[in-house]
Chains A and B, each alone.
Chain A
Amino acid sequence: MRTGTIFIVILVVLGILFTAGCADTETPGETGEEMIVVGIMGPYTGGAAVYGNAAKDGAMLAFDEADLPNVIIVVEDTKSETREAATAMNKMVSVNNVQAVIGDLISAATLAAAPIAEQNQVVMISPASTSTDISDAGDYIFRTIPGDDGQGIFAANTMHERGYTKLALLYTNDQYGNGLAGIISEEFTAKGGEIVADETYEAGSSDMRTQLAKIKNSNPEVIYIVSNTPDSSVALLRQITEIGIDANIYGSEGLKVASILELGSSVEGIVITSVSPESEDFRQKYMDAYAEEAPAFAAQAYDAATAIIMAIEQGATTGEEIKNALYEMEFDGASGHIKFNEMGDVEGGYVLVEVRDGAFVTLEE
């Protein structure tokens, strides 16, 4: 009996260890009083891990370059879950005494952690959360990616200008999906277009056949997909082909993941609305450091880290001082020009990316 219990305890502990993943300090330096602790949080396991790791690598690139002697980095895995995000933020605030945090990625997770950061005067910069609610999340909450209103308006305009009038929406049933789809729907109908189908799916699910059957039945000219988990993106793109939908396919930047290219000829011609691409300089740097193309959000995370580094270099040591420095600064970052407005948002621009010959090609505007 006793060995049985011990065995289970070991199993559970191992499970926790593995799921906790990266929950350790990257640079175990001295925790002297003059040290400034910066947190990085995001999904490093779970459905959105691809994005989370890209953002972490992007941010670490900036910290490695700056090599600040008085900064300690703490990394927390949030598995793109709201509960985990709140726990991670609480832990970093109370245990690690962080002054600034880069993350989270998924809007819902960022919004779950934001009140804790705000209350404890900890700066939070998200490299990927685009929900419009982030703007109002608080004074300490920033982001280096423009909000959904920009992308929604851009997407609706593009589809309208290309002459489409019947649009079907298929989106993930969360803060990001509902927010972006809502804006597109509003803009597109305001321009005289018609929303013929409005379907959702749970993030991470891989069976959308009946949703797609409903979309097919509504005869749309174009489908706009909002997806932020690669497994759902791959599943739904494949099922669109299999079920025989002829409409043109547009989607948000979440579709810009390498795994969809494996679907081959069936994804040719898909158009993705995406924030302006990262600078050539950053792309090269990332390639040198990690030997792969910079994935989505790496540049935004690099800029978030750069902003914090600049604030610290200017002498900021507390969350409040970093926050004040952020509102003052302005620089040309890897993802574009960074200047935080009074909501902590950046302007940003958008481009269209098309799948051509099995690669993502940025279209000239």
Chain B
Amino acid sequence: MSLLAQSIINGLITGSIYALVAAGYSLIYSTNNFMHFAHGISVVAAGYMVYWLFTLAGTPFYATCLITILLSALFGLAMYRLIYLPLQRRGSSNVILLIASIGILIFFQNIIQIAFGSGVKLIGYIEVSRGIAFPGGITMTVLQIVILLISGIIFIMLYQFMQKTKLGRNMRAVSNNKELASIVGIDHIRISDFSFLIGSALAGVAGILVALEQNLSPLMGTNLMIKGFTGAVIGGINYVPGSIIGSFVLGMAENLGILVLPSGYKDAIAFSLLFLFLLFKPNGILGKKEGRFDK
């Protein structure tokens, strides 16, 4: 029983990290309509930023977090303005943008490797210690509780923002129908700017939490991106709340699945789930019907 409870908690923690990655990713996808795989590198870059500012340079921790989120947002914007937008203006197809995003991912992975070395980096903000034992045989560290809380708060804020603010509504309008949105006077480039800013700021938060909870290595972005993408597809890649739910489903499935199956199948479970959804429910759990903007 305690094993089951602990696995559910583990699934939630894993899921919330996937969801932070997936939320930003799907926000950018829904308004821009192309795969921004370099989103993974935003997460890793944020993690290394924390390592650099906090562990190496000794900046106070909360200032580090603030600067990191800010710089992540600008990093995302820079990718859009300097790479994607010029390509779009030259009429590049979404496939070209996809390839460019993979190029950016690999490029920055290697830049990080050159700058920081290929070894594992630890932030060392929280000393490694035994987690708190809860009734029901669950053990959680304070950080893990914080991760669950922060991601919960962020998802609620993101939802409110998308529903209640003018900018959020405009973003949804663009994601629904770009042409129609531009006819009513919504500047889609401005909307893209904001989607990259907000999406990459989310990646910054994810990066900080991943850096604290796991460790840093230059190549971790690929794995995070794949899992975030899988979660987004399961939940509905063009709808932010969907991709958040999908990420939690993925985290749960991975952790509960290996209670029954040998643990070597963890990734196999994730990708089987991806296949099943692509085959039978390509728009995901909450995703919108195909055809609305896939013209």
Contact = CB atoms under 8 A, between A and B. Distances in A.
Interface of A: 1, 3-4, 7-8, 11-12, 14-15, 18-19, 45-47, 49-50, 53, 173, 199-202, 204-207, 209-211, 213-214, 217, 230-231, 233-235, 238, 241-244, 257, 259, 262-266
Contacts of B104: 11
B255 A18 contact: no
B120 A211 contact: no
Contacts of A265: 127
Nearest to A262: B122
A1 B10 contact: no
A242 B129 contact: yes
Interface string B112-124: 0110001111101
Contacts of A7: 83, 86-87
A213 B254 CA distance: 14
B129 A266 contact: yes
Contacts of B110: 15, 18-19, 45
A45 B87 contact: no
Nearest to B214: A206
B267 interface: yes
Residue among B11, B110, B128, B262 with most chain A CB within 10 A? B128
Contact of A50 (B118, B264, B266): B118
A259 B214 CA distance: 13
A211 B114 CA distance: 33
B74 interface: no
Given A205-B223, A211-B258, A243-B131, A11 B107 contact: yes
B13 A209 contact: yes
25 contacts: A11-B103, A14-B103, A18-B106, A18-B107, A18-B110, A46-B219, A47-B118, A50-B118, A200-B263, A205-B266, A206-B220, A207-B14, A207-B214, A210-B259, A210-B263, A211-B258, A211-B263, A213-B7, A214-B258, A238-B128, A238-B215, A244-B139, A257-B119, A259-B120, A259-B121
Contacts of B255: 209-210
B66 interface: no
Interface of B: 2-3, 6-7, 10-11, 13-14, 83, 86-87, 90-92, 96, 99-100, 103-104, 106-107, 110-111, 113-114, 118-122, 124, 127-131, 133, 139, 141, 214-215, 217, 219-220, 223, 254-255, 258-259, 262-264, 266-267
B109 to A, nearest CB: 8
A242 B215 contact: no
Which 4 pairs between the two chains have the least Cβ-Cβ distance? Answer: A18-B110, A49-B118, A11-B103, A4-B90
B263 A234 contact: no
Contact of B219 (A201, A202, A204, A214): A204
A12 B103 CA distance: 6
Contacts of B14: 207, 209
Given A50-B119, A200-B262, A207-B10, 7 more contacts: A8-B87, A50-B118, A209-B10, A214-B258, A214-B263, A242-B128, A264-B128
Given A211-B258, A234-B215, A262 B124 contact: yes
Contacts of A200: 262-264
Contact of B10 (A204, A210, A217): A210
A79 to B, nearest CB: 9
B96 A231 contact: no
Contacts of A242: 128-131, 139, 141
A201 B91 CA distance: 44
Contacts of A47: 118, 217, 219
Given A45-B113, A200-B262, A8 B100 contact: yes
Contact of A231 (B83, B92, B120): B120
A223 to B, nearest CB: 14
A17 to B, nearest CB: 9
